[in-house]
């Protein structure tokens, strides 16, 4: 923040509020429009003001670091026979029943900013703001320069803390495990829906939530966003998973393919080209390597080993509390890998009318290379016993 | 739309795009920022233009009514050994590889609107629009009056089609069933998390997805947004569910409570007061009844039967593709019930530091009364066999 010369960053989207404050608001995540903000100050370093509606204050007092200052707008009816004997409940009761609470989120945000700032520069994320909120801030903070916090927050999020890494590692591994479990449901007469249900159940039993469940079989495996339908699995089908879960608010994104009972020659050799693309990109991963080099390695191997006209806009992306964090792994990306980045590398190939194949794994960039969270098979697996 | 004197309505949020076009876009729902629009025209009646990025076009051609005109911005790499022999795949290939596609969503939206409108009035939903999109439209449609479509779309959505009613009925009943299944996991030593996992698994096995899983036990049952944690269940606890799923894109929202093994006298009598509130409100439901009367009936019964100081901002709300559809059931609401509305009636009561109780069911307003989708017990159930 100092480097960017901003005095405060205001997060407004669910992802960035949770990232900045660890606070997760049910209706903030579930519904667009709910106004929650986390203000992170440069001085004192990383101190946080959290602004929530009264109806969402309960989990703030229960979960958020005691160091954060909590501000509530509106009121909420909570009964209490006597003053609760526990700190967070007592604090909650005071916060939500205070008749002096402002009625709107933007109004309270303005008040919190004005209390500490007469001038300077504040970065405000637009994504989660209500209509007119930005005007309210600009009018009320005439001497403060307001800039867009969106790009800044994406940059901050690119390098993960140890705690974030642990969540991302578990999320990826839970997903890999759930895909394996889901194959138990693959038998003649089963449908894509059956596989999807088994996959999601396996996520939940490991403490995660379903997030991305793209499962296509046969020619539907070539649809990039295949939403599972009641199509019956057939011998010779490719089954493509492009899947992820949410674990402790962090997400995963990996891909797996199997051929059912038997496999055409082209699926097998094309898969190998894609897997080689992933492996050669993976072998490069280390701090200081350009993401465009990683992209180039993946593309070159896939083209060399069986798909001469292989084309992709990207061969991967960072991952974190959002599915597409920085860095982007593209031909023109100028970003360099840094320790603590967590990235997905992927080489999907969609043959419309025929089948789709995809290889995708997740990696942590370490001080001297990379740690692989998941391991896609190097050969297209054939599910013979089904 | 004729009554509102608008020539077209532009939906931009995931809920309203799916509502208006039946199109569901994976990254549109999962990530803020993806630009997808459905333009619904007054003439020809209800005709639809759907605007999507190339990466999301696959499910459009597969699922959306052939009557909708599909417009794609950007390009996406899809291989094809030969021209696919199936209509939607052929259409998809043409749409995503057309070099003439505009590069941005707002630009394409402007083009689609200008092709049919020189003047008039268009309602545009702000929620899902990218920064600057509204300015792009206003500049490019100088003779067209742009108004906010948000309130209009909420009004349209209040009265459900038969197909929507069927999804909402199933969603509510699946949720009720899953809550019953979840109680199988309630035994000494089990945690809130165990109950939540069993609940979500039961949703998935019935073809639904988890959406709202508020489960609190003991004093945590008094936290309105209780996110399940590793707290162990104890004899004498109240277990409160405020839960919902998503089924065919439509959601549910019901509440259930049980006491574990034994129950305090006040929980039992307070629950009865809340259940009576729900029942007396439910008995009123019919077309032409004011929602403020429904609110008043619920409040009066709860106060009369055991909670003299009972207070609530609302005692229910419409439900549909979003958890809070119109009508609002409040003291000051001026809306009247109409056939086809689907509403939740609820009487929650949070006793901070002690316990929370909540009764909530879902109803369809019919031509001469109401159909009840779910049935909360009139007495607080005690789980004796655990």
- Would you list the DSSP string of B73-106? ES----B-SS--SSHHHHHHHHHHH-TT--SSHH
CA distance B123 to A115: 38
Beta-carbon contacts of residue B3 (< 8 Å; ≥ 6 apart)? none
Q: What is the DSSP letter of B132?
A: T
Answer whether B39's CB lies under 8 Å from B19's CB. Answer: no
**Does residue A152 register a pLDDT over 70?**
yes
Assign A211 to helix, strand or coil: strand
Provide mean pLDDT across the span A49-76. Answer: 88
Q: Is the pLDDT of residue A66 over 70?
A: no
* Whole-number average pLDDT of chain A: 95
Question: Quick one: which of B298, B276, B384 has its CA closest to B343?
Answer: B298
To test the contact with chain A by mutation, choose from B55, B208, B225, B226 the residue with the greatest count of A C-beta atoms within 10 A, namely B225
Which of A347, A173, A376, A343 lies closest to A256 in space, CA to CA? Answer: A376
pLDDT at A62 over 80: no
Judge whether B51 is closer than 8 Å to chain A, CB to CB.
Answer: no
Q: Is the pLDDT of residue A333 over 90?
A: yes
Query: What H or E segment, with its residue span, contains residue A122?
Result: strand A120-124
Residues of chain B short of pLDDT 70, as ranges, are 2, 64-66
In angstroms, rounded to a whole number, what is the distance separating the alpha carbons of residues A158 and A340? 8
The answer to whether B10 and B21 are in contact (CB under 8 A) is no
Helix locations, B183-290, DSSP H: 192-205, 265-284
What's the predicted TM-score (pTM) here?
0.96
Q: Which of residues 217-246 of A touch B (CB under 8 A)?
A: 219, 222-227
Report d(CA A118, CA A115) in Å as an integer. 8
Q: Which of A58, A204, A352 is facing B78, going by the closest CB pair?
A: A352
According to DSSP, residue B303 is labeled: H
A221-264 pLDDT, tens digit per residue, is 999 999 999 999 999 999 999 999 999 999 999 999 999 999 98
Residue A135 touches chain B, beta carbons under 8 Å: no
| Distance of alpha carbon B245 from alpha carbon A108, whole angstroms | 33
Q: Is B334 left (phi over 0), alpha (psi -120 to 50) or beta?
A: alpha
Of the candidates B52, B49, B51, the one whose C-alpha atom is nearest the C-alpha of residue B67 is: B49
Please report the pLDDT score of residue B66 as a whole number: 67
Q: Does A47 touch chain B (CB under 8 A)?
A: no
pLDDT of residue B65: 65
Q: How far is A368 from chain B (nearest CA, A)?
A: 33
User: Binning pLDDT at 50, 70 and 90, where does residue A5 land?
Assistant: confident
Percent of chain A past pLDDT 70, that is, above it, reads 99
Q: Is A227 in Cβ contact with B322 (below 8 Å)?
A: no
Is the link from the previous residue into A327 a cis peptide, with omega within 30 of 0?
A: yes
Measured distance CA(A159)–CA(A373) in Å, rounded:
16
Size of chain B, expressed as the number of residues it contains = 386
- What percentage of chain B's residues is helix, strand, coil (to nearest 5)? 35, 25, 35
What is the ipTM, given to two decimal places? 0.95
Of A325, A329, A299, A301, nearest to A316 (Cα)?
Answer: A329
Residue A117: count other Cβ atoms within 10 Å of its Cβ. 16
**Which ranges of chain B would DSSP assign to H, the alpha helix?**
14-21, 26-30, 58-63, 87-97, 105-116, 133-140, 150-158, 162-182, 192-205, 265-284, 291-304
A233-246 core/surface letters (b: 16 or more CB in 10 A; e: else) = beeebbbbbbbbbb
Q: Is A31 on the interface with B (CB under 8 A)?
A: yes
């Amino acid at each position: 923040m100092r480097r960017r010369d901003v005095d405060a960053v205001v997060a407004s989207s669910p992802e960035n509020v949770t990232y900045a404050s660890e606070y997760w608001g049910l209706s903030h995540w579930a519904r667009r429009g709910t106004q929650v903000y986390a203000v992170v100050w440069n001085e004192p370093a990383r101190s946080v003001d959290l602004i929530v509606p009264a109806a969402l204050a309960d989990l703030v007092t229960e979960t958020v670091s005691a160091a954060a200052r909590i501000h509530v707008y509106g009121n909420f009816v909570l009964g209490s026979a006597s003053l609760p004997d526990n700190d967070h409940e007592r604090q909650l009761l005071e916060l939500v029943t205070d008749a002096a609470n402002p009625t709107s989120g933007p109004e309270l945000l303005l008040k919190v900013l004005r209390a500490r700032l007469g001038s300077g520069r504040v970065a405000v994320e637009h994504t989660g703001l209500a209509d007119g909120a930005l005007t309210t801030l600009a009018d009320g903070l005439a001497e403060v320069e307001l800039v867009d916090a969106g790009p800044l927050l994406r940059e901050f999020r690119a390098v993960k803390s140890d705690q974030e890494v642990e969540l991302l590692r578990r999320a990826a591994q839970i997903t890999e495990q759930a895909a394996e479990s889901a194959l138990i449901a693959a038998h003649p007469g089963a449908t894509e829906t059956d596989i999807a249900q088994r996959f999601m159940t396996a996520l939940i039993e490991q403490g995660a939530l379903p997030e991305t469940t793209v499962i296509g079989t046969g020619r539907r495996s070539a649809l990039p966003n295949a939403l599972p339908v009641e199509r019956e699995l057939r011998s010779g089908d490719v089954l493509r998973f492009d899947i992820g879960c949410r674990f402790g608010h962090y997400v995963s994104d990996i891909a797996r393919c199997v051929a059912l009972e038997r496999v055409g020659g082209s699926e097998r050799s094309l898969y190998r080209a894609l897997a080689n693309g992933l492996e050669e990109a993976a072998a490069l991963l280390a701090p200081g390597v350009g993401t465009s080099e990683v992209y180039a390695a993946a593309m070159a191997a896939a083209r060399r080993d069986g798909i001469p006209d292989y084309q992709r806009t990207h061969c991967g992306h960072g991952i974190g509390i959002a599915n597409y964090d920085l860095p982007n792994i593209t031909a023109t990306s100028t970003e360099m890998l840094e320790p603590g980045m967590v990235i997905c590398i992927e080489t999907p190939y969609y043959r419309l009318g025929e089948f789709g194949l995809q290889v995708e794994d997740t990696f942590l960039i370490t001080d001297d290379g990379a740690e692989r969270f998941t391991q896609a098979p190097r050969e297209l697996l054939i599910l013979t016993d089904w």
